[in-house]
Chain A
Amino acid sequence: MTSGQATPEGSAQPPALTIDALGKKCPIPIIMLAAQINDVPRNGIVAVLADDPAAFSDIPAWCRLKSHHHVGSYELPQRGWAIHVRRNY
């Protein structure tokens, strides 16, 4: 269940903001993302840390609906993923 090959460290751009949604069930990680995406500058990266399987598929879907960019999802060492989203506008 990985959609990105690279590790967060290996990705081109470090996140400008990290949202810790570990242990939170969907849709809470997405509500947190939507509330905070405008806290980073345009083209900035938000990393959402989440371990609910629904977040893994829903954050890319949210990006598609909201015209932001899903950069990649990187497995975390313990559990869950760092899901990177680039603010497009």
Chain B
Amino acid sequence: MHHAWCDDWEVAYFDAASTEPLHPQAREALIAALDVGWADPARLYGPARRARMLLEQARTEVAEALGARPDEVAFTSSGTQAIHLGVLGTLHGRRRAGRRLVTSAVEHSSVLHAAGIHERDGGSVETVGVGLTGAVDLTAFRKAVLAEGTALACLQSANHEVGTVQPIAEAAAVCAEAGVPLLVDAAQTAGRMPSPGGWSVLTASAHKWGGPAGVGVLVIRKGTRWRTPLPEDDREHRRVPGFENVPAIVAAAAALRATVAESGTESARLSALVNRIRTEVPRLVPDVEVIGDPVARAPHIVTFSCLYVEGEALLTELDKAGFAVSSGSSCTASTLRPSHVLEAMGVLTHGNVRVSLPRGTSATDVDRFLSVLPEMVRRIREDAGVKQ
């Protein structure tokens, strides 16, 4: 099955964890809102009131889908900005409680970069390791959170590279015990899986659930201390600077509503396709390591590494065969370093392929992927002089 959102009709798009194609309902909502939601929602005349009504309606819908109150939800310009503001703003607000930040070793780079700023400002960061599946070491996490002076703990709902779901309920219990707020980066699960509980701060990104790019969500639970790390601004309850992109926010809410409504059946369907890849790849291709937790995982992500294969060569071949996938191998990264996630897990970093299925992925495309992969890997190994 091919989709209107792929201009190249031959491409099977398997990179939903990078960005999910725009949901048709988001597209419809976006076009309508461009006409009626363009005015400044902070003003008092008719078109402004209409823009404000659309914005607040979107806020209510997003809040409901994420298990929050509307006044806890602020829209940012990206998921990354939501994380930067969530991490640095909570640390700023809790300065008097301490200057220790606890994160897992496999968080999104935006968390690690915010942690870097905190360290340069004289704060301290404790990075908690993960096991072979990518799940955080809960014993170490508990010890780190309970240590004196911990201001904030961060844990993703599911890992963006390997799909492993983190033990949020257990982490939240530890944080509650310590009186430390927990920031949950829900970028990979918002809309696809039920929203976790127990967080003080939640972040997400609309383009990961089929909304447009340029909309992130920062949810701050009532009672959580938070102070903007940026210059003051009136927008979004003084939490996010800059004029809101109302049409994109309206489209983001429409996509979330549609994705949540579909997720019961669609997540189960995609999860079954992922299971098929997890089972078939090691059966069809020798010397492959399938990575991440086989059960406690996001429905749409599967990652594997092929021994003796250069990741870039495999991505190039897959692209030629019409498959859009990504990789955590160093040769595919601008930094020429392997993914910090794969490194922290202690799994193979070379020959790495992440397949992440968008809504509507057909079983036919998955079958075609499974049928071309073995010969592709064999040929790359042969060219590299590997005895097979």
> Which A residues are closer than 8 A to B by beta carbons?
25-28, 30-31, 34-35, 52-54, 57-58, 60-62, 64-65
CA distance A35 to B307 in the complex (A): 13
Is the C-beta of B293 less than 8 angstroms from some C-beta in chain A? no
**Contact, CB under 8 Å: B337 / A53:** yes
Interface pairs (19), CB distance under 8 Å = A25-B331, A26-B330, A26-B331, A26-B350, A27-B309, A30-B308, A31-B308, A31-B384, A34-B307, A52-B330, A54-B329, A54-B338, A57-B338, A57-B346, A58-B348, A58-B349, A61-B289, A65-B287, A65-B307
Among all A-B residue pairs, the 4 with the closest Cβ atoms = A27-B350, A26-B350, A54-B330, A61-B348
**Contact, CB under 8 Å: B385 / A31:** yes
**CB nearest neighbor in B for A64:** B346
Is the C-beta of B12 less than 8 angstroms from some C-beta in chain A? no
Residues of B within 8 A of A61 (CB): 289, 346-349
Q: What total of A-B pairs shows CB separation below 8 Å?
A: 62
**Contact, CB under 8 Å: B331 / A53:** no
**CB nearest neighbor in B for A53:** B337
Q: Which of B308, B309, B310 contacts A34 (CB 8 A)?
A: B308
**Contact, CB under 8 Å: A54 / B350:** yes
Residues of B within 8 A of A57 (CB): 338, 342-343, 346, 349
Q: Which of B329, B338, B348 contacts A62 (CB 8 A)?
A: B348
Is the C-beta of B120 less than 8 angstroms from some C-beta in chain A? no
Is the C-beta of B272 less than 8 angstroms from some C-beta in chain A? no
Contact with A along B310-351 (1 / 0, CB 8 A): 100000000000000000011100000110001100111111
Number of interface residues of B (CB under 8 A): 23
> Which B residues are closer than 8 A to A by beta carbons?
287, 289, 307-310, 329-331, 337-338, 342-343, 346-351, 384-387
CA distance A69 to B310 in the complex (A): 24
Q: Which of A26, A30, A35, A54 contacts B387 (CB 8 A)?
A: A35
**Contact, CB under 8 Å: B386 / A54:** no
Q: Which of A26, A28, A35, A65 contacts B349 (CB 8 A)?
A: A26
**Contact, CB under 8 Å: B307 / A54:** no
Residues of A within 8 A of B342 (CB): 57
- Kindly list 17 other residue pairs between chains A and B, CB separation below 8 angstroms, not including A28-B384, A65-B287, A65-B289: A25-B331, A26-B330, A27-B307, A27-B308, A27-B309, A27-B351, A27-B384, A31-B385, A35-B386, A53-B338, A54-B329, A54-B330, A54-B349, A57-B346, A58-B338, A62-B307, A64-B346
